[in-house]
Each structure stands twice: as C-alpha cells, then as structure tokens.
Chain A
Amino acid sequence: MSRAAAETAVSDARSFIRIEDIAKSFSGVPAVAGVSLEIPRGELFCLLGASGSGKTTLLRLLAGFERPDRGTISIDGADVTAMPPYLRPVNLMFQSYALFPHLSVEGNIAFGLRQEKLTRADIARRVEEMLTLVQMTSFARRRPHELSGGQRQRTALARALAKLPKVLLLDEPLAALDRKLREETREELVSIQARLGITFIVVTHDAEEAMGMASRIAILKGGKLAQIGTPAELYDRPRSRYVADFLGPVNLFECEILGHDSGSAVLRLVDLDTELRVRDDLGTARTGRAWVAVRPERMTQTIGAAPVGRMRGILRAAVFRGESHSCRIELPSGKSVLFTAPAAVAIPRQGEPVELTWPPGAGVVLTE
C-alpha cells in the first residue's frame, strides 16, 4: 500500500464505506427509503432483513447494478454513486453464484483478471492462489455443471476475491447449502475474511447466520435502518419489538407507563397485573404503552420469592433440544410465555403449574 493510500485509510478508518441517505424506488414503490451507514475497513458487516426489507436492493446499489434516486455512496474516500459496476472496486458473490457455464473453474476465476492489464503469468499465478485459498486446485478444469453446490460456492468466492476488491459483497452466501455444509462454510468465510482483511458485506435473512459471522449487523425493515450494532448489542439491547423478535424468540410483556419519579419510570405489566420500576430512559414516550422484552433463556423458574414480575401459568408444551428444554406456559390471561430450562433441571409435566420470573437486568423496556 502506498503512503497516500495508507493515510487515507487512517483518516477514514470509521467510514471506509459511507452510505448517505440513499433511496431507491421501483415503479413508485420504495425499496430503500433513506439509509445512512458507515462501515469501517476490514469489517465483516451483515445486512439483515426479511424479504422486502430492501437489503438486496442496498447490495445492488453498492455493486452498481442500480442507480439510487437520491443519496451517495463512497468507498475509500471516492464517490462511486455514478460509477458503473465494471469500474467499481467492489465484487459481488451472487446468490445463484452466476458461474459462467461455458468456462471451467479456472476460466471463471481468471475472467475478472483478464479484464485488467495483467500478464498471462500474473493471471495464472493469481488463479493458482485463489484455487489454493478455496481448496479447489484439483477441480480447476471442471465446468460448473460438474461441481457440487459447495464446490460452486467456493468457485464463486474465488472468482469474486481474485480481483482483490476493496469490498466483497455476498448475497445470501450460505442459502443454497445444506445445513452441515452451511456451518463449515460460515467458519471458512470468517477465516478467509480475517486472513485477507477485505471488507465483507453479507446480505442474509437468517438472523442466526448473521450473528454467527458478523462483527456488526444492520437490521433493515421496510427499506429503513431498524437498528445497527454488534450481534450481542442487538440481541440483548434491541430498541424495538421488531428487532427483538427478528433476532430470536422473545417474550414481550405489554405494560402501561404509569408515571415517572426521581429518575425511574413505573410500569404496570398488563398480563401479570404487577407494577415494575425501571430506570427512566424511555425518552419521549412519557405515557402510553411499552413492552418488556425478555429472552426465553433469561426466564427462570422461581422457588420462593421472585424479585420481579413473578408469573404463574400452566405448562402447555415442552420440547427437548438436547442441551435444554424449550417450554411454553399459558398465563391465566391466555398469553403464552416461552422459557428455556437447562436439560439438567427437572421440568413439570404438561398441564401442571409453573412459576416463572426474570432476574433484574434481563428485561428490556421497549416503546416501539
């Protein structure tokens, strides 16, 4: 890296990729409606969202296949908003892999390199490196239709990485693989990313997958950014019911905000008919409804007095998961509450009463 480039890297460390207020509509329907993001160099960043959340459109905007209606995208200090895809320092690994059927594995990997002014020897060397990186050396001469799904995925990865892009975009990279292979491939992607230091932006609809690989995640909803943070931040401190629910099973207890006094807020849990005192960081929502979100694994069965929100219900379902039981109880109000009990703990039989609570700090108060 030249000195000038190194300096740019230092000065722009936090905003290697800068997306500013980007928006894109298709025949009047907004797909991305004003998203701003900054992604530092070398990060493995995930765009997470349900279908229709705008994550794929955002990826295509980054790759250059779509022109935004407004907003700008800059990469490493250069504005690329109006740059066609073939000039961007970005490569995309397609969800379908989009391997050229008329070219061998080698030919596919060399394709991008042939567009640059490289000598034959340089191209051959780089192809060799990439084949080694993804462990495809012995399949170099095969055509895509002679490869397994996992091998195709590796070829697509090698092809996209061969040009040493500043940013690698991955569209649902694991979606087409079976469960076991998905686990291995996820680890491999993370390790390759760490080794090469290339910024990865992964689009996925699978929260577990995103949490398992990303250093940070942006959750998209309806073309807007719902929340951005590390997997742990998003999981433990969601700011909305949507985010809480998207990242995994969660109990949402509806409350009324009764009042505020000396730095704390008083809530009444509707289903439990008990009051709860929490730190008053509810922002502008001074009165009205709120929700307390508690993850099933943070719920505990009570023995004796419960510190907060004690509830009594009837066990309706229990599923053995190996390391734990996933249980559901029904409160007298009809509301279902999920909890995870360690496998070692004896659980009551179905139809028997269960008392649950959550320890202080396990609940998050949400106002949207």
Chain B
Amino acid sequence: MPKTKIPAVIATFILCMAFWVLITWNFSSQELLAGAVVSLAAALFSARFMIHGKAFWLLNPAKLFGLIYYVLIVFPVELVKANVDMAKRCFGGCKNINPGIVKVPVDLQSEYGQAMLANSITLTPGTITMEVTEEDDQTYYYVHWIDVSAPSGKEAGDAIKGALEKGVRRVFE
C-alpha cells in the first residue's frame, strides 16, 4: 500500500473543504470548524488513494489554462455535436443506427488522463467506454459506438476522441 504523503493530504483536504463549503454555503465559524475536522480526517485516510503523482500539478498555469479550456470549450463543443446527432437519430425513428464495439488505441501516459478521457467518451452520447486494457505499452479502449463508420484502429479513434484526446493531453502531459 502506498504511503501517505503530506502534500497529498493537503490537496485532498482542500478539495474536501471546498466541497463542504459548496454544500453547506454557511460561513459561521462553527460550521467551518466542523468541516475542517471532518475534511482533515477524510484526507488522512483517503489521500493515498486519491493522489499518486504530484499533488499540486494544477498550480502550473499552462496546465490550469489547459483544464479550463478543456472544460469550458473543447468538451462542451463535442458534447453538443454528439447530442444533436443523437437527438436526430432518436427523432428519425431509431432506424439509422449501426452499433458495434471497436478497439481504439490511446496515446496517454498519465492514469488521470486516461480516466478523464474514458469518462469524457462515455459522457458524449453515442459512445460508451467498456474496457481499458494495455498491450505492449499501448493503451486500448473498447468503445461501444452507435454508428460504426470505420473499423477498429486509428481511424475510428480519431472519429471518436480526436479533439478530446488533444485537450486532455494538454492538461496532463
């Protein structure tokens, strides 16, 4: 089991505390103190599972900007495109589909990056990530795709996650 590191505890504590403040939205000192105690306890126990790498990588301005750009621009654009496409298929009588599971290569090293990309793919209508595997240092996703327009490999990968992967790479690598 990995050891608990101090920066990881601090980062987890900040995350828990921010969430407590967001949920309660009450700034009396008693509330804040209770939140701090609970957050500290939670951070001590869970920091080693939450954070494996550097704890404060988000303080790097390039990465922070990359994350904001991804969350506010890259991802919503893909989401709206996929949603409109899916809505058209649904209102068109659900006949115009060609489902299948394809295997696509992913060029991301970081664990968090892979998780974020997999979740982004699942969140866009029309694609669901079903499995993540690694073969010979190359990560592959198995993606259920509502309209298979290209067989497995690079081409399908570009169609499913082209812009998303570039955005995620800017954040984590």
On whether the two chains bind one another, the answer is no
**What residues make up the interface of A, taking CB atoms closer than 8 Å to B?**
none
**What residues make up the interface of B, taking CB atoms closer than 8 Å to A?**
none
